[in-house]
Amino acid sequence: MDIATIIGLVAGMGLVGWAIASGGDGGAFVDAPSMAIVFGGGLASVLISFPLANVLSTLGVVKKAFLTKARDPGDLIRELVGYAEVARRDGILSLENMTKDIDDNFIVSGIQMAVDGTDPELIEQIMTSELDAIADRHETGKAILDAAGKYLPAFGMIGTLIGLIVMLGSMEDPSKIGSGMATALITTLYGAMAANMIVLPMADKLGRRSQEELLLKTIVIRGVMAIQAGDNPRVVEQRLTTFIPYNKRKKEEEASERRAA
């Protein structure tokens, strides 16, 4: 579970709730028609913009922001180097018995193709195609959330305009102007909160998660190709370490030197 996402949501909602409570009547901030306009209208626009199947699949993508914790690239590199050591010492066919203990299906697929003697170019092509498919799914999920973040404030403004029109139509009763104005503005509040506190930050988090996953998959592809080629494990580690950001690479190099010693 990504604790940062949970903390951010709880903190944001908590601050808004505190501000509402300190202002007096919290019931004044609850308006069912305004909710229907903002959330129903936002959903309707998303359905117009994207196929239903993509919208429904976004629910699974959103879970990644809450439940998925990115794997440390250094741990993945050490795992791949371990497979390279086994292949170098006992032959690549010895990796077949290890695949049942590997949790990552992407690694299993690549190693299995290498063990089966699949042409290296075909291995890279298949794994790269799968990587592209993953990137497309992530891009679609983020695009849907970005679109929702764009439409929700717009429907907030639409709801406000509707409320103002209704209010101006009953100007003969000045006592209702204040409450009417407050009700009209609630839809803008709903749209702004939903977009900027939930949907758009979630889209940014998913974008970050996508970058992390694609980096890990790229490391796997390069690692499998190196194992298939029979490269020295030390060379495999040096090649894969280049994918780690420079500020973290020094720690991995020091850890590698300690293991070698």
Considering the chain, what is the average pLDDT of its residues? 86
CB 129: neighbour CB atoms within 10 A? 10
- DSSP letter string, 205-228: HHHHHHHHHHHHHHHHHHHHHHHH
Is 7 within the bounds of a domain?
yes
Domain hosting residue 20, numbered range: 1-30
Per-residue pLDDT of 113-130, as tens digits, reads 999 989 999 999 999 999
Angle at 155 between CA 154 and CA 160, to 5 degrees: 100
Per-residue pLDDT of 36-94, as tens digits, reads 999 999 999 999 999 999 898 887 777 766 676 778 888 999 999 999 999 988 888 88
Both structure tokens of 17: 């709730």
| Cα separation, 178 vs 161, whole angstroms | 15
**Number of domain units in the chain:** 1
Is 166 within the bounds of a domain?
no
Per-residue pLDDT of 136-171, as tens digits, reads 988 998 999 999 999 999 999 998 888 888 777 777
Is 168 within the bounds of a domain?
no
Maximum CA pair distance of the chain? Answer: 91
Higher pLDDT, residue 212 or 3: 212
Place of tokens 């129903």: 40
Is 137 within the bounds of a domain?
no
C-beta of residue 40 within 8 angstroms of C-beta of residue 195 = no
Is 133 within the bounds of a domain?
no
- Whether pTM exceeds 0.75: yes
The pLDDT value recorded for residue 143 is: 94
pLDDT of 259 higher than 60: no
Place of tokens 């495999």: 236
Is 3 within the bounds of a domain?
yes
Is 10 within the bounds of a domain?
yes
